[in-house]
Amino acid sequence: MESVNPFNQFRQECQTVLANALKAALPEATVEKLPMSKPSNPNFGQLASSVCFELAKKLKRKPADLAAQVTQAVNKTSFVLVEKVAPAGGYVNFYADFGRLSALTLHSISKLGEEYGFIKTDQPAKIIVEHTSVNPLHPIHIGQARNPMLGDALARILTRRGNEVSRHYYIDDVGRQSSVIAYGYAKLGKPTPNEKADHFVGKIYTITACLVEVNRLKRQIEQPNAASNEDTAKPNKDLAEWTTIAAELKEKHPQLFEALSEKIGEDTNPEQEINRLNRAYEDGETEAKALIREVSDLCLEGFRKTQGRVAVAYDSWDWESDFVWSSQVNTVLQQLQGSGYVFSEGGVLEFDAKKVVENLNLREKLGLRKEQEVPPLTLVRADGTTLYTTRDVAYTLWKFKSAQRVINVIGMEQSLAQLQLKIALYTLGFEQQAENFVHFAYNLVTLPGYKMSSRRGHYITFDEVLDEAVQRAFEEVSKRSPQLTEEEKRKIADFVGIGAVRYALVDVDTGKPVVFTWDRVLNFETNSAPYVQYTHARACSILRKAEHAPENPNFECLKESLEHELVLAVASFPDVFIECAEYLKPNMIADYCNALADKFNTFYNAYPVLKAESSDLVDARLALTDAVRTVLSNALNLIGVTAPEKM
């Protein structure tokens, strides 16, 4: 016999036993649900029901008396995975028959292998997970790297749940920033990168943005109508800051800075040229399209190489500009204007999101507090160009043409924009789409003692972090396993270093910031990818050293509490998987991996496997070790971390 979810099979048996006992002991009582939870203390069993507390209110009796009466009515002849049922202070506690539960669990894991734990949903859906979507202006930096790690983990988890998942990257190539980099790139004569393309583009962007801002501020200060101290105080302060930034950039990139300074200096008003290019691109003019697409593609080339290192791929690269040029954005604008919730103020089109919320009674659906304000959304600037969220409405509707559910992996700082987008969907009559639209928000990545600033060019690229992680892992592997060849050490260091970064960016609850420190990321002793990977490799090592594979183990031999804890842990993996998939909690997988590794290492340090006191016990513990190996591998795969056989 095998089971796709052994612990749930035990739970269902407990519920059946309890339902029959209630019917026999209290035929007059009716209960809608039979709540079951895991006691924190295993002395109180593996599951407990609080149903007698609910019944006590209805029957005007003490919970403890009811629990005793119910347990006395239990039919023990129906037990398969249950060993006994006992009352405790009003609770009905269920104790597992560990011989049978171990046999069911370990046999099931052995048979199902790589498929174990991945329970398929009864309602599979087509889902688009849009993630990463870093603007093609500079390399992906560590502050942005949490996004692709979370997005890829979500896509893996939802796919394993039985959904049809498509991974999308939204290329934000419309707007002033793209025009700034394209302007600088053109001024240099569209040079061929002499380094990784996105790093090259990032330097051009930072320097160009700085020089253009210095020029703008100087012209503002020199204007005749800005002669008073009050008019020039702030521009002078800003100019001083940008001049300092310019000096820093000149020192870091002297040749590139001088070249851009000379070329940009040929234009009296670079800002005007950039605005002209921005408008031309949004209007779809041929030269502007060719220029901005060319420099964007350069940056994306670098992104693909970076993402390839961490095994992240996309099914679709969606250009924001395509939605502007195809008239889809204009169509959305016209529909919103026709809704009666758009007003003009100083030539700027505004969407009255608050009014929509009140008129359509959306507060409860959107989870908004009664006093929570929803500011208006600017749709179109006075110069006629659209804003990001306006274009995102069109993009979201396009995604829903091929998906039933859309998940946007975007930082918490975009929560208002994502809320306004959802309100716009309701306004346009797309209620079902609005309810199946999910903003998967996450907090920032912080580096103690380091302040990132894109405009100063102060950021640590994801590439640099990966390089350092691999180098640090190499040094650690060399210390721990000096007998390995150089090639073996490099190979191990690569998956350990990259796995460490992936794990570190996933294992923190998304509502909390990730504090990125090497002491935590590459900790071989606890709660890190290297720690879990080392545990998996340890299990593989034990199995390699075994003289034979156990064929028909006697699981009654597994009597120690640590053995029982391991059986319960691997039996519960399907439950953990279902919860993380349904509630979009990838950090649960990392937490589970760490907890299972802790339990196995405690067991390994306490009891021998290959040198156990009997051959039956050796076989049972080998089967348990193999089950832990399988489950760790399956769980690590969900978050994109390699499960190595050797370390």
Of 249, 284, 313, the last residue of a domain is: 313
**Distance (Å, whole) CA 136 – CA 169:** 11
Range of the domain at 278: 176-313
pLDDT bucket at 495, cuts 50 / 70 / 90: very high
10 Å Cβ neighbour count for 80? 13
**Distance (Å, whole) CA 295 – CA 305:** 16
**Distance (Å, whole) CA 395 – CA 570:** 42
DSSP H or E stretch at residue 150:
helix 146-160
pLDDT of residue 228: 58
pLDDT of residue 372: 92
Residue 454 has pLDDT above 70, yes or no: no
Assess if residue 534 is contained within a domain: yes
Residue 449 has pLDDT above 80, yes or no: no
Q: What is the mean pLDDT of residues 575-592?
A: 98
Of 245, 278, 313, the last residue of a domain is: 313
Residue 281 sits in the same domain as residue 411: no
Structure tokens at 647: 């370390």
CATH number, position 587: 1.10.730.10
Residue 326 sits in the same domain as residue 272: no
Structure tokens at 128: 């688009």
Residue 457 has pLDDT above 80, yes or no: no
Assess if residue 109 is contained within a domain: no
Residue 129 has pLDDT above 70, yes or no: yes
Assess if residue 145 is contained within a domain: yes
Residue 305 sits in the same domain as residue 367: no
pLDDT of residue 383: 85
Residue 234 sits in the same domain as residue 152: no
DSSP H or E stretch at residue 263:
helix 254-264
pLDDT of residue 83: 97
Assess if residue 160 is contained within a domain: yes
| pLDDT tens sequence across 264-292 | 999 999 999 999 999 999 999 999 999 99
Cβ atoms of 392 and 418 closer than 8 Å: no
Residue 442 sits in the same domain as residue 577: no
Q: Which of 79-83, 227-231, 436-440 has the lowest mean pLDDT?
A: 227-231
| pLDDT tens sequence across 137-194 | 999 999 999 999 999 999 999 999 999 999 999 999 999 999 999 999 999 999 999 9
Assess if residue 400 is contained within a domain: yes
Assess if residue 119 is contained within a domain: no
Structure tokens at 43: 């002395």
Residue 323 sits in the same domain as residue 427: yes
Total domains in the chain come to: 4
Distance of CA 27 to the CA centre of its chain: 49
∠ CA 475-479-481 to the nearest 5 degrees? 110
Residue 307 sits in the same domain as residue 390: no
Assess if residue 616 is contained within a domain: yes
10 Å Cβ neighbour count for 110? 17
| pLDDT tens sequence across 218-250 | 998 887 665 555 567 888 899 999 999 999 999
- In this prediction the pTM is 0.94
| pLDDT tens sequence across 540-571 | 999 999 988 888 899 999 999 999 999 999 99
Residue 282 sits in the same domain as residue 182: yes
Residue 466 sits in the same domain as residue 611: yes
Of 80, 96, 112, the last residue of a domain is: 96
Assess if residue 106 is contained within a domain: no
Query: What is the bridge-based pairing of β-strands 405-409 and 377-380?
Result: unpaired
Cβ atoms of 299 and 190 closer than 8 Å: no
Q: What is the mean pLDDT of residues 420-437?
A: 97
pLDDT of residue 361: 95
CATH number, position 337: 3.40.50.620
pLDDT of residue 459: 85
Residue 544 sits in the same domain as residue 606: yes
| pLDDT tens sequence across 480-492 | 889 999 999 999 9
Mean pLDDT of the chain: 94
Q: Which ranges constitute the DSSP H helices of 404-524?
A: 415-427, 431-435, 462-480, 486-506, 518-521
Residue 466 sits in the same domain as residue 554: yes
Residue 266 sits in the same domain as residue 325: no
Distance of CA 191 to the CA centre of its chain: 36
pLDDT of residue 29: 86
